[in-house]
Amino acid sequence: MDSSFDLSSWSQAHLARVESALSSLIPLSAPAGLAPSMRYAVLDGGKRLRPLLVLGAREAVAAGETSHAQEDHAESLDEAALRAACAVELIHAYSLVHDDMPCMDNDVLRRGKPTVHVQFGEALALLAGDTLQALAFEILTPLASELGATKTPAPALQARLCQLLARASGHAGMAGGQAIDLASVGLPLTETELRHMHRLKTGALLQASVRMGAACGQATTQALSALDRYGEAIGLAFQVVDDVLDVIADSATLGKTAGKDAAQDKPTYVSLMGLERSRQLAAELLAQALAALDDSGLAQTHALRALAHMVVDRSH
Amino acid sequence: MDSSFDLSSWSQAHLARVESALSSLIPLSAPAGLAPSMRYAVLDGGKRLRPLLVLGAREAVAAGETSHAQEDHAESLDEAALRAACAVELIHAYSLVHDDMPCMDNDVLRRGKPTVHVQFGEALALLAGDTLQALAFEILTPLASELGATKTPAPALQARLCQLLARASGHAGMAGGQAIDLASVGLPLTETELRHMHRLKTGALLQASVRMGAACGQATTQALSALDRYGEAIGLAFQVVDDVLDVIADSATLGKTAGKDAAQDKPTYVSLMGLERSRQLAAELLAQALAALDDSGLAQTHALRALAHMVVDRSH
C-alpha cells in the first residue's frame, strides 16, 4: 500500500459528499410514511463501501482529464459518478430492507438499529424497498432542466449507468444470488457453487460499483478489463471476510446479529474450508486485486488500493 | 369512435408481439425458482392495457416517418417502443405481486390463478417482484452487441425511457400512491385526496405508458401536451371504473376477489360519490381524453381513441 495515501481523510471527504447527496436525493416529503422509512433505511449508517468504490474508480480514470474542454466535461462526469455512488447504495439499502423481512432472514437488528420492518411495519418496509430501487434509476437519469446543462451527465452515460446497475442487481446478479441463498439453506454446497452464489449475491454489485465509476471517464480497454478483475476479486474477498467475521466477531462490533450463518445452517466459506483457509483465501484475493491495479496502466489507483486493503482487514 | 377501426384485431396483432417479447425477455433459467416465479407473475394474464397504450402512442407519433432515413431509424424506435411496452408491464406485474402479499392486501387470487406468494412462497414472491423491477430497466437499456446496431435504441432515448419509468413507479408515482392507499384504510378521504392517491397509484404509470410511447418518435410540444392530458384522463377513468366494477362484478368475471374494497373499508369513488355519479365521472373523463386527442394535431390516433373507450366500457 502507498504509505503516503491517507484512506481515512480521502474517505471522509468523499463520504461527506455522498451523505449530503443521499440526503438531498431521498425525498423529505414522500407520501404517508414513505419518506421517513426510506431515509431511515439509507441515512446514518453503513460503511458505504460501494459508493467509495465508484468514486475510487472515477478518480482512477479521471487522472488524465486536463485540457479545458475536458475540465468542462469533468463537472458532468463528477456529477454522474456521485449519482452512481448514491444509486448503488440505494440498491444495496433496498436489498437489506427486503432481506431482513420476516419472510426472508427475519432479522431485527441492522447497523445497530431495529430493522426497517420492526420500526415501520412490514408493509411500509416492502414499499420503502421497492421505492428505493426506483429512486436509484431516477437519480441516474436527471432532467437537464433540474440540474443545469453543464452538470447533467451525457444521455449515453446515463443509459450506460442504468444498464450496469440493472444487470448487477437483477436475475443475473444480486437478486439471482439471493434466490440461490434462499434455496441453499441446509444444503451442502461445493466451493464452486458457493463462489457462484456470492459472485451474484454480493460480487455483482461490488464489481458494478467499480464499473460504474470507470464508466464516468475515458479508460483504455486494458484499464477497464483490469478494473473488472479488481472488482471481481474485491467482491469475493468481501464475502469471504464477511463469513469470517460472522464467526469471530460479536454482534456489538458487527452492528448486526453475529453467528447467524451457523445458527441458520447456511453454507459459508468458513463452514466449507475452515477459518484458516478462509483467511488465506481472502489474502490471495487481495493480492489478485492489487495485481490487477498494477496491470491497469492507471496512475491514480491509491484509493482503490487502500479500499482493497480495507475490505480484507476490516473488523466489521 | 372511428367506426372503421377494429380495436380487437389491432390489439391482437400488437399483443402477439408483446407476449412474444415478454416471453423472450424474461429469463428461462434464472437461479433457484426465480425464473418460474417471474414468468408466472407476468405471462399468460392481464389485459396488457399499459403495453397497448405505449404502442398506441408510438403509432400516433410514428405516422409522419416516411423518408428513407426515418424508416431506418424507425426500426430502432419500434424496438424501443416494444421494450417500453414490456418494461411498463413488468413494473405493473411486480407491483401486483408485492401488493398481493400477506403484509399488504393479502390476496390469494389474481387473474383467476393463485397469487405468486401462494404458488411459490412469500420469500420468492418478494424476490420475483424485486427482480421484475430490475428487469424493466435492464430491457430498456440493451447492449448494441446483443441487439445489433440498427435495432438498438439511441442512448438518449434509452435514458429518457428509464427516466419516465422510474419517476412514474417511485415515490412520486405508483409506490407513493400505494403508501397513501395503505395509510388510508378506514379513513374518510375527500374527493381531492382520493384523486391524488389514484393519480399516483395507477394514474402515473398509465400516463407514463403514453409518454413512453410518445417518446419513441418526433412529436410537437402541442401533441405531447395533448397526449399527456389524454393519459391523465385515462388514468383516472381507469380507477373510477375499477371501483365501479369492484361493486357490480363478481370474482369470476374480475379474475380477482370482488367486493374487497368495501370489505376492507377502503375509500373508493363509489363509496365517496355513489355508483351513478361514479359512472358519470368515468364518462366525463372519457370525453376529456377524446377531446385531448382531437387537440393533438396527430392523424393516427385510432388506437388511442379505441383504448379510451375500452378502459371505460370494460367488464373486468
Contact yes or no for A179 and B27 at CB 8 A: no
Q: What is the domain partition of chain A in residue ranges?
A: 7-311
Window A:129-168, CB contacts with B under 8 Å: 129-131, 133-135, 137-138, 140-143, 155-156, 158-160, 162-163, 165-167
Fill in the amino acid letter for A20: S
A200 near B CB under 8 A: yes
B88 near A CB under 8 A: no
Find out whether A211 and A227 touch, Cβ atoms under 8 Å.
yes
CB-side exposure of B65: number of CA atoms within 13 Å? 19
Question: What's the pLDDT band for B54 if we cut at 50, 70, 90?
Answer: very high
Contact yes or no for A166 and B124 at CB 8 A: no
Is the pLDDT assigned to residue A249 strictly greater than 90?
A: no
Is the pLDDT assigned to residue B265 strictly greater than 50?
A: yes
DSSP, collapsed to helix, strand or coil, labels residue B115 as coil
Predicted pLDDT of residue B111: 84
Contact yes or no for A126 and B131 at CB 8 A: no
* Mean pLDDT, residues A177-200 taken together: 89
Question: What's the pLDDT band for B87 if we cut at 50, 70, 90?
Answer: very high
Fill in the amino acid letter for A103: C
Question: What's the pLDDT band for A1 if we cut at 50, 70, 90?
Answer: very low
Predicted pLDDT of residue A254: 59
Find out whether B313 and B262 touch, Cβ atoms under 8 Å.
no
Is the pLDDT assigned to residue A70 strictly greater than 80?
A: no
Predicted pLDDT of residue B72: 62
Find out whether A21 and A90 touch, Cβ atoms under 8 Å.
no
* pLDDT-wise least confident of A131-145, A188-202, A240-254, B61-75: B61-75
Q: Does domain A7-311 have CATH number 3.40.50.150?
A: no
**Residue B299: exposed, middle, or buried by beta-carbon count in 10 A (0-12, 13-18, 19+)?**
exposed
Q: pLDDT above 90 covers what percent of chain B?
A: 72
Question: What is the CATH T-level fold of the domain B7-313, as seen in this structure?
Answer: Farnesyl Diphosphate Synthase (1.10.600)
Q: pLDDT above 70 covers what percent of chain B?
A: 91
Element (H, E) at A246: helix A221-248
Predicted pLDDT of residue B46: 82
Find out whether B53 and B209 touch, Cβ atoms under 8 Å.
yes
Predicted pLDDT of residue A168: 98
> Is the model more confident about B85 or about A67?
B85
Contact yes or no for B127 and A175 at CB 8 A: yes
Is the pLDDT assigned to residue B1 strictly greater than 60?
A: no
Predicted pLDDT of residue B251: 60
A252-288 burial, b at 16+ Cβ within 10 Å, e below that, comes to eebbbebeebeeeebbbbbbbbeeeebbebbeebbeb
How do residues B132-187 score in pLDDT, each as one tens digit? 999 999 999 999 888 988 899 999 999 999 999 999 999 999 999 999 998 888 88
Task: Mark out the alpha helices in chain B (DSSP H runs).
Answer: 7-25, 34-42, 49-62, 68-99, 116-120, 122-140, 144-147, 155-169, 174-184, 191-198, 204-215, 221-248, 251-254, 260-263, 269-295, 302-313
A71: closest CA of chain B, how far (Å): 23
Predicted pLDDT of residue A74: 87
pTM of the model as a whole? 0.94
* pLDDT-wise least confident of A217-221, B37-41, B99-103: A217-221
CB-side exposure of A132: number of CA atoms within 13 Å? 33
> CA gyration radius for chain A?
19
Averaged pLDDT of chain B: 91
Q: How far apart are CA B204 and CA B218, in angstroms?
A: 22
- Three-point CA angle A30, A31, A36, nearest 5°: 60
Is the pLDDT assigned to residue A251 strictly greater than 90?
A: no
Is the pLDDT assigned to residue B65 strictly greater than 70?
A: no
Phi, psi (degrees; rounded to nearest 5) at A278: -65, -45
B188 near A CB under 8 A: no
Fill in the amino acid letter for B188: P
Q: How far apart are CA B299 and CA B62, in angstroms?
A: 10
Instruction: Name the grid cell of A97.
Output: 430492507
A25 near B CB under 8 A: no
Question: Residue A212 CB: number of other CB atoms within 10 A?
Answer: 31
Averaged pLDDT of chain A: 91
- The partner residue sitting opposite A123, judged by closest CB among B30, B182, B200, is B182
Instruction: Enter the ipTM.
Output: 0.94
How do residues A99-120 score in pLDDT, each as one tens digit? 999 999 999 998 889 999 999 9
Residues of A whose CB is below 8 A from B104? 123, 126
- Residue B154 per-residue DSSP state: P
* pLDDT-wise least confident of A17-26, B92-101, B260-269: B260-269
How do residues B213-239 score in pLDDT, each as one tens digit? 999 998 899 999 999 999 999 999 999
Q: How far apart are CA B190 and CA B50, in angstroms?
A: 28
Fill in the amino acid letter for B179: A
Contact yes or no for B35 and A171 at CB 8 A: yes
A123-136 burial, b at 16+ Cβ within 10 Å, e below that, comes to bbbbbbbbbbbbbb
A39-75 burial, b at 16+ Cβ within 10 Å, e below that, comes to bbbbeeebebbbbbbbbbbbbbbbeebeeeeeeebbe
Residues of A whose CB is below 8 A from B33? 179, 183
Q: How far apart are CA A100 and CA A92, in angstroms?
A: 12
